[in-house]
């Protein structure tokens, strides 16, 4: 059996619709806990390995289920979560692929003073064409193969080593030698590189103070170079300085490096000792962050000549490199949808995600998936009722908190069994869950509805988007918001400011029509506010209301899904 520690983790987000209600939030939490419980059981008894056999070199990842929400938690749901001491799900406003979903090229960085040779060796080791240059973990630049080639191109520039501020320690390391005399942290800052292949008389005309002199193993050549003020003497062919030469070098401040290479090889390799910061690209870098959407970076990558692009954290710390080729190996976010199956209600970016499952109790909304998925859709009053069935089918007993969340979701979605969407199964399931959670249904319902009814002090925008859904039918798009209250006076007090805000919602969401259902739970009626061309006429026609009536009062209408939507869609068809 393969241990869990040897496998990678694969995040799977379980999420409800935008502007989530209590059912959307609680069902996401409860289904996440169910998936975790089933996974733990399979890992313990070995059935996970049996169902997902390891492929050689490609271990099957272990799912990591994460409960999410696509919007703000409303007051009713806050009350429920606080009552059962449960944290709100993770906020996820977009599920389109991000850089975080891609396999980055984790090329380690090098310091700016590191040599070009070290950069080249790192590129060979990592099979990379670029290496990031870092300072205390933060990105300072990029050095590429092209930059390294450039260091060899200008053969006439014998002063490039000093202009680059090359460390003598890097020169020794590049020449596979070591410093015999002088400090390893010193830097070659002035002078040129000279090869002492001539007689001492000729050397006097060539060597200038502060030069770096590459010499063989002749004493007179070493002596003359130091006497002429050489800053560094590179002794080739394994030569070592005599006591006289070493003492003279110490007195004159001359660094001595010996190398096993001959003068030709030393001269050919010495440019590799220059620091990468001299050749790196350090300005106008094109960088990305882990949270950047792949869709947003594609065009940027196409319009830039770079092979690799650095990925950094917000603080500037380097993470890895990304290339155009790696876009082909992009990992889509894996998502399970609960309490909805329409794109217009789903979290942004859902078209770019990999949908694994859908558990819902609404009408079918024409969702398209990449592959066949587990789709559980039942004509019940609440998704939580279906989730409870899944617990039963999997042989998992929810704990008190989960049972309480599921019961509360049913209470909310069915308006404590008053909604026409409520079925006998919803009621029986809720009663069983309430007993497991140790709550009184009537008391819980009153407290929940009272929390939800607190509309005073909220802005029109908060009220309109508290429970808001978008629908498309017959080529028209329309939004339907719903607020519920146990106090008719509270609904009256917000009518004017909400009605005035509906045109803004239409504009923000690009809708043809907008409706607000102001539902009184006590007398099971709804006042309908309408906005948009012919919106009020269509609504009156749908519910057989006289054209002269100023207010549209819908008696015994409390359900958006079961009562308002079917009647209004039928009116659109006529």
Q: Is the pTM of this model over 0.85?
A: no
| In a domain? residue 314 | no
CA distance 346 to 148: 50
CA distance 108 to 489: 66
The string of pLDDT tens digits covering residues 261-312 is: 999 999 989 988 999 888 888 888 888 888 888 877 877 887 777 778 888 8
Look up the domain containing 209 and give its range: 116-278
CATH number at residue 193: 3.40.1390.20
Instruction: Please tell me the predicted confidence (pLDDT) of residue 2.
Output: 44
The answer as to whether 446 is a domain residue is: yes
Average pLDDT over every residue of 49-73 = 84
Residue 466 placed within a domain: yes
Q: Which residues contact 246 (CB under 8 A, 6 or more apart)?
A: 180, 181, 256
Please state the length of the chain. 574
Nearest-angstrom CA–CA distance, 480 and 472: 11
Specify if 125 maps to a domain.
yes
Among 25-39, 138-152, 410-424, top mean pLDDT goes to 25-39
Does 132 share its domain with 200? yes
Better pLDDT: 175 or 150: 175
Q: Judge whether 173 and 261 are in contact, CB under 8 Å.
A: no
pLDDT of residue 129: 85
Segment 30-50, tens digit of pLDDT: 999 999 999 999 999 988 887
CATH code assigned at 553: 3.10.310.20
Last residue of a domain, one of 215, 247, 278: 278
Q: Considering 399, 419, 451, which residue would you say is the last residue of a domain?
A: 451
Give the chain's domain count: 3
One domain for residues 345 and 422: yes
Per residue in 511-540, pLDDT (tens digit) is: 999 999 999 988 889 999 999 999 999 999
């Amino acid at each position: 059996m393969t241990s869990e520690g040897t496998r990678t983790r694969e995040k799977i987000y379980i999420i409800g619709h935008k502007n989530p209600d209590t059912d959307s939030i609680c069902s996401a939490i409860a289904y996440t806990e169910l998936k975790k419980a089933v996974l733990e059981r399979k890992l313990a008894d070995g059935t996970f390995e049996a169902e997902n056999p390891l492929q050689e070199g490609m271990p099957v990842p272990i799912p990591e289920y994460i409960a999410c929400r696509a919007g703000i938690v409303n007051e009713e749901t806050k009350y429920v979560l606080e009552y059962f001491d449960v944290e709100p799900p993770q906020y996820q406003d977009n599920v389109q692929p991000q850089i975080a979903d891609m396999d980055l090229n984790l090329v380690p960085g090098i310091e700016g003073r590191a040599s070009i040779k070290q950069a080249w060796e790192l590129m060979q080791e990592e099979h990379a064409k670029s290496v990031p240059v870092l300072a205390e973990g933060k990105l300072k630049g990029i050095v590429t193969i092209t930059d390294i080639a450039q260091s060899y191109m200008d053969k006439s520039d014998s002063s490039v080593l000093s202009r680059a501020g090359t460390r003598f320690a890097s020169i020794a390391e590049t020449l596979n030698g070591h410093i015999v005399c002088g400090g390893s942290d010193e830097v070659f800052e002035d002078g040129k590189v000279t090869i002492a292949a001539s007689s001492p008389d000729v050397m006097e005309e060539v060597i200038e103070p502060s030069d770096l002199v590459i010499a063989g193993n002749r004493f007179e050549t070493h002596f003359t170079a130091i006497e002429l003020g050489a800053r560094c003497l590179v002794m080739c062919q394994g030569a070592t300085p005599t006591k006289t030469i070493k003492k003279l070098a110490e007195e004159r401040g001359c660094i001595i490096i010996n190398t096993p290479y001959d003068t030709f090889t030393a001269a050919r390799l010495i440019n590799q000792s220059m620091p990468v910061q001299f050749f790196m690209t350090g300005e106008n870098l094109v960088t990305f962050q882990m949270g950047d959407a792949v869709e947003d970076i594609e065009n940027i990558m196409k319009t830039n000549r770079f092979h690799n692009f650095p990925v950094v954290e917000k603080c500037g710390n380097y993470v890895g490199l990304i290339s155009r080729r790696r876009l082909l190996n992009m990992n889509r976010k894996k998502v399970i949808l609960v309490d909805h199956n329409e794109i217009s209600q789903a979290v942004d970016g859902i078209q770019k995600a990999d949908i694994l499952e859908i558990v819902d109790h609404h009408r079918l909304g024409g969702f398209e998936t990449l592959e066949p998925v587990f789709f559980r859709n039942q004509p019940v009053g609440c998704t939580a009722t279906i989730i409870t069935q899944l617990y039963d089918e999997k042989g998992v007993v929810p704990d008190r908190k989960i049972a309480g969340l599921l019961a509360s979701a049913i209470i909310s979605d069915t308006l404590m069994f008053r909604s026409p969407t409520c079925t006998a199964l919803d009621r029986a399931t809720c009663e069983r869950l309430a007993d497991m959670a140790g709550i009184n249904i009537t008391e819980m319902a009153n407290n929940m509805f009272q929390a939800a009814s607190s509309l005073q002090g909220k802005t029109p925008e908060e009220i309109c988007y508290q429970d808001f859904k978008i629908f498309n039918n017959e080529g028209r798009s329309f939004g339907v918001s719903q607020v519920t209250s146990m106090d008719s006076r509270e609904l009256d007090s917000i009518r004017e400011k909400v009605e005035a805000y509906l045109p803004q919602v239409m504009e923000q969401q690009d809708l043809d029509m907008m409706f607000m259902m102001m539902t009184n739970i006590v007398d099971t009626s709804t006042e309908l506010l309408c906005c948009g061309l012919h919106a009020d006429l269509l609504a009156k026609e749908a519910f057989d209301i006289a054209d002269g009536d100023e207010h549209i009062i819908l008696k015994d209408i409390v359900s958006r899904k079961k009562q308002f939507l079917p009647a209004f869609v039928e009116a659109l068809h006529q």
